[in-house]
Structure 1
Amino acid sequence: MNERLKKLRKELDITQQELADKLGTARNNIAGYETGKRQPSDAVISLICKTDFPQGRVNETWLRTGEGEMFIEASRDERIATFVGDILKDEEETFKKKFISMLAALDESDWEVIQKMVELMQKKGAD
């Protein structure tokens, strides 16, 4: 499992510290798992597999045995929740954060106008 944990972290393109922070553990625990000096508990494995990553959730079967795909494709709702959650975690007032905030302030009539605009753009794109 240690090699798969390292492969997972490399695929996520994050450091041991970043993975440790995401899981709420110490970096030396991650290092121990990757070197094989420590075995992650079932609770840690479960936490890894329940954590939302941009690539999706980690496939527990793959993590434990190496069988199957590394990630389970996230549903549309899960991808949206992860996207918004990541934006909200950012301390800075980014464009994405301002845009999400603006969308949250729309009322039903505003959404109807946007829907009509999108439908019009789709129709013009099909012509």
Structure 2
Amino acid sequence: MNERIKELRKNLKLTQQEFADALNIKRGAVANYEIGRNEPIDAVISLICKTFNVNEEWLRSGAGDMFLELPEEDEEAAYVSELLEDSDNDLYKLIKEIMHTYHELSPKSKEVIRDFSAKLRENIKKGS
């Protein structure tokens, strides 16, 4: 399991400290898991799986895919949640302003934007 924990962390592009912080554990615990000195208890394994959407079977045995497949709406919610965690970033501010501006539009203007978006999606699909 130690190699899979390290592989997961590297796949997520996290340092040991960032990984530990996400789980609210100490960096030394992560280091000990990765070198095989200690094995995480079931509660930590569950926390890793829940926090990072990891397939528990993969984490424990290496069988299956590293990550669980999310339904589309859960995946979108995860993106929004990740974005909202850092309200100081410019992308967050831009998206917030887009939503605010959209909300201020007249119903007819909103309809035009929705039609434009649908046509844009169509054209992108055609190009793929």
- The two structures have a TM-score, normalised by structure 1, of 0.81
Q: Give the 5 Å matches for 1:42-61.
A: 42-52=42-52, 57-61=53-57
Check 1:15–1:34 CA distance in 2 against 1; reply closer, same or farther (3 A cut). Answer: same
Which residue identity is paired with 1:102?
E
Q: What CA distance in whole angstroms lies between the structure 1 residues aligned with 2:122 and 2:39?
A: 56
- Alignment length (residue pairs): 121
Which residue identity is paired with 2:120?
M
Check 1:29–1:122 CA distance in 2 against 1; reply closer, same or farther (3 A cut). Answer: closer
Give the superposition deviation at 1:99.
3.1
Q: What CA distance in whole angstroms lies between the structure 1 residues aligned with 2:77 and 2:123?
A: 31
**Aligned equivalent of 2:30:** 30
Q: What CA distance in whole angstroms lies between the structure 2 residues aligned with 1:88 and 1:38?
A: 34
Give the superposition deviation at 1:60.
0.3
**Aligned equivalent of 2:73:** 77
**Aligned equivalent of 2:15:** 15
Deviation per residue, 1:37-82 (Å, 9 max, x gap) = 1111111111111114xxxx21100001111111112222222222
Which residue identity is paired with 1:62?
W
> Unaligned stretches of 5+ in structure 1?
none
Check 1:114–1:67 CA distance in 2 against 1; reply closer, same or farther (3 A cut). Answer: same
Q: What CA distance in whole angstroms lies between the structure 2 residues aligned with 1:66 and 1:45?
A: 14
> Unaligned stretches of 5+ in structure 2?
none
Which residue identity is paired with 1:100?
I
**Aligned equivalent of 1:98:** 93
**Aligned equivalent of 1:117:** 116
Question: Aligned-residue CA RMSD in angstroms?
Answer: 2.2
Check 1:21–1:117 CA distance in 2 against 1; reply closer, same or farther (3 A cut). Answer: same
Taking only the aligned residue pairs, the percentage that are identical comes to 43
8 A contact 2:58–2:65 mirrored in 1: yes
Give the superposition deviation at 1:112.
2.7
Check 1:3–1:124 CA distance in 2 against 1; reply closer, same or farther (3 A cut). Answer: closer
Which residue identity is paired with 2:63?
E
